[in-house]
Amino acid sequence: MSATTATTAIDARILAEEATFMARNRRSNELYEQALAVMPGGVTSSWSSTRPFPVWISHGAGSHVWDVDGNEYVDTHAGYGVNVVGHANPAVVDAVQRRVTMGTHFAQPTEDSIVVAQELAHRFGLPLWRFNNSGTESTMDAIHLMRAITGRDLIIKVEGSYHGHHDLVNVSLWRSLGDLGPVDDPSREAGPGIPQAFADLVRIVPFNDLAAVERVFADHPGRIAGMIIEPMMMNAGIIPPHAGYLAGLRDLVHRHGALLTFDEVKTGLVVAWGGATELFGVSPDIICLAKALGGGVPCGAIGGTAEVMSAISDGRYDQVGTFNGNPLTMAAARAVLTEVLTPDTYAAAEALGRQLFDGCTAALSAHGIQSYGIVHGFKGSVVVHDKPATNYREFLEIDTAISHLNYLIQHNNGVFIAPWAKSESWTLSVAHTSADCERLVANTEQLADVLSRRGDEVSALFEVGGVT
């Protein structure tokens, strides 16, 4: 690779697109500057922070959103995978409107919660369910349960995998290649603000590596409570499991007297009617849900086997929360499950996703650009790289500059994708159309044209080997 400056072809195009971005988002910039005085980083969540500044949204309808400058976008961001039902879905709106006039909070169960639990049990094959308010709470409850059931302390998690921001899983997150440590002894440094004592209770393994999990059990006999894993690794594009990996993992974990949790916060209700659990035909001991379940209303849930959930029933573990099963949330979730995300919607979404995937890969290939990707249900991705990533370290080798440039080109031409587009993938909804997909494909053709002319230049603005 040649030495570079910030005037390489790709960097020049990034700077030009950022200038266009700033010119068409002046009101967003004004609000951002106001927010900096009263909100750290000028945003409500650090996930919203991006270069050159965050976009402020006015409203959404169906598959489209509008920002405060009046720009309209096809939305494939979907609030980080939440809005599979589309924006302002009539069934969800009607359910919440009916419920809100009857009272918004009681800290007591409402009838809708029974229906939601029944539907989840039917879809995911686990008999008993409890509710909370986010994916972070769901994974926290799951880890607590694994420890309560087994009486053990150590947890296994996958390198680079995100399971929320609580202390129990804030280890091996968002690091550069140089910070990960040896492959056979990954770094277990705690995240910022997290005592190292918590990280010392976690063991890290690569995704798609059964032998590594076996070594952890061998090194810590009788001490592993369980393993938490995304059955498809998200926040790293989309990395699917190797054939037999999940079934082998379940058998391995159980052979050592431990439990297996699937974090389906991003995959559940999205990649298939019964999530990745249905898609891959492997049932864990615990399933964590959130995001799409509430149709845009904050919501989380955990499902488990009778053995696991007995710890809640008999009082060994108090699964609590003031807003658990909130009436508005349960009304929205019931509408999502019974009226919107019906079985036939998944085949239709996958067909649309296939159109999007085929169009994007064809546009890149026509310009000699290698790519890979995947489509399942409402979820999909196309990644510019010469070979598919099978774990987090391989994902970090993907060019971050290309991902940022794609975000800018898509945004400036009417498609809203996640700002952290290297790690995020697209999410469609029941409202998306073929024309929506064509717009994203057309923008990808622009990206392909830029990339075809960059030669061996390497970005000086973004370093390969990091997440940003």
Annotated catalytic residue 162: yes
- Where helices occur in 260-342 by DSSP H, the ranges are 275-280, 306-313, 327-335
Residue 108: CB atoms within 10 A of its CB come to 7
What DSSP letter does each residue of 236-247 carry, written as one string? Answer: SS-BPPPTTHHH
Name every residue whose Cβ is closer than 8 Å to that of residue 238 and which is 6 or more positions away in sequence: 232, 373, 374, 376, 379, 380, 381, 425
Residue tagged active-site, from 263, 285, 399, 436: 263
What is the enclosing helix (H) or strand (E) of 72?
Answer: strand 72-75
SS3 122: helix
Tokens at residue 398, please? 């993907």
Residue tagged active-site, from 73, 80, 162, 346: 162
Q: How far is CA 175 from CA 50, 53, 187, 255, 464, in A?
A: 17, 23, 10, 32, 12
Q: How far is CA 304 from CA 165, 264, 283, 313, 451, in A?
A: 22, 13, 10, 12, 47
Token pair 């994708």: residue: 417
Tokens at residue 197, please? 């004592």
Distance CA 362, CA 359 (A): 5
Contact between residue 457 and residue 424 where contact means Cβ atoms under 8 Å apart: no
Distance CA 70, CA 138 (A): 36
What is the enclosing helix (H) or strand (E) of 81?
Answer: helix 78-81
Residue 39: CB atoms within 10 A of its CB come to 12
Residue tagged active-site, from 157, 266, 291, 379: 291
Contact between residue 367 and residue 452 where contact means Cβ atoms under 8 Å apart: yes
Annotated catalytic residue 263: yes
SS3 74: strand
Check residue 283 and report its DSSP letter.
Answer: -
Residues labelled as active-site residues: 162, 263, 291
